[in-house]
Amino acid sequence: MDTQTAVEQSDRYLISTYRRAPVAFAGGQGVWLTDVEGRRYLDFVAGIAVCALGHNHPALTAAIRAQAARLLHVSNLYVIPEQTALARWLVEHSALDRAFFCNSGAEANEAAIKLARRYWHRKDVARFEIVVAQQSFHGRTLGTLAATAQPKYHQGFAPLPPGFVPVPFDDLDALRAAITPATAAIMLEVVQGEGGYRFPSPSYLPMVRRVCDEQGLLLILDEVQTGVGRTGRWFAYEHFSITPDIMTLAKGLGGGVPIGALLATEPVASAFQPGDHGSTFGGNPLACAAALAVVETIERDGLVSRAAEIGGYLVERLRALTERMPAITDVRGLGLMVAVDLSVDAAQVITAARDRGLLVNAVQPKTLRFAPPLIVTHQEVDQAVDILDGALAAVVQPAAAG
Ligand SMILES: Cc1ncc(COP(=O)(O)O)c(C=O)c1O
């Protein structure tokens, strides 16, 4: 199939919830994707921070093949050893005690919200409000949409579930002022992802933790995008020497196989009892065998410290570009979660980069996101930065000249 046919068929049959670029991929290897016409692209989107091991990684492919040949799915009515093994791995590598599995980031956050409310309900305390941050992104279900304090995502979906109190991110006074006797939890991304790769100041999260401790509130950290090594630590909360009461994961965890996870400390986790929550597919043998292969491979190959190191190199290379490219107004990153602010619309730069063989996307209209697989090499970073250089020159310099 050629690109034009792929685009036409897609436009004809799919509900148009996405603004799709006119490119269709047929295969991938490592950090590279190949489209249906054989063109190759460096993939610095990675399924939006999902494909931690890149494409067609032998360890992940082998685990999926072996599990598919053994057992794809059984119900959570029965014990699932692959699920237990993944839970154990996550518990042993984090500050949390127990896990629940689902199929996406939104579902993990939905479960987190329910768990926080259930926790207080079990204590017979009327606490149900959750303080959230402006510019947050927690998902597209009605509950997680309500937690997502960005009005543009809410439009036309009213009424949303009540009980979410938005405050500016990285503003401790505002957070303190929002707490009432009805507050159950504070829910934050460690680094705001879809909000524009916004990093908190170093003291913010430790102070939020302290406020939670003083007031007996639960701290829910959404690590759907930041978790599983992306920021150069297994979990981004480690950068701030704090631990959450509840943490959610998805994206990188399955390396491309859909899976989400809710983790909680023992006293919080025990608020869920049989029947309180569930998911038909959540934690099935295939998804858990895949996720276990992902985390074990990341660990075996030292990809977490590698993400820290190579992310630093990417930021360095991009900053060097700034000297020649005034259209770049800021470069920031933590591990392989890197953003570039532009003085021009990101859309045209993204198209120009894609035409030259680099996939990047925008987290905000003028902010490019770089979230390559954790296996990316220095050479591939160099290639990506060179392509971006050419793309920016093509977009910006004619505009500047004109
Ligand atoms: C921080 C964060 N939370 C939740 C989600 C929602 O995850 P999903 O699309 O898997 O439902 C996302 C997706 O971008 C995210 O970045």
Cα gap 320→309, rounded to integer Å: 17
| Residue 10 CB contacts under 8 Å (≥ 6 apart), including other chains | 20, 24
With a 6 Å cutoff on the Cβ, whether 139 touches ligand 1 is: yes
Domain extents for the chain?
A: 3-56+338-401, 58-300
CA of 122 to the centre of ligand 1 (A): 28
The CATH superfamily of 3-56+338-401 is Aspartate Aminotransferase, domain 1 (3.90.1150.10)
The pTM of the full predicted model, rounded to 2 decimals, is: 0.98
Quick one: CATH architecture of 58-300?
Answer: 3-Layer(aba) Sandwich (3.40)
Cα gap 308→191, rounded to integer Å: 15
CA distance readout (Å), 301 to 55, 106, 297, 309, 312: 16, 29, 6, 14, 18
CA of 137 to the centre of ligand 1 (A): 7
pLDDT, one tens digit for every residue, the chain (402 residues): 899 999 999 999 999 999 999 999 999 999 999 999 999 999 999 999 999 999 999 999 999 999 999 999 999 999 999 999 999 999 999 999 999 999 999 999 999 999 999 999 999 999 999 999 999 999 999 999 999 999 999 999 999 999 999 999 999 999 999 999 999 999 999 999 999 999 999 999 999 999 999 999 999 999 999 999 999 999 999 999 999 999 999 999 999 999 999 999 999 999 999 999 999 999 999 999 999 999 999 999 999 999 999 999 999 999 999 988 999 999 999 999 999 999 999 999 999 999 999 999 999 999 999 999 999 999 999 999 999 999 999 998 765 554
Residue closest by Cα to atom 9 of ligand 1: 105
Residue closest by Cα to atom 7 of ligand 1: 105
With a 6 Å cutoff on the Cβ, whether 194 touches ligand 1 is: yes
N residues, the chain:
402
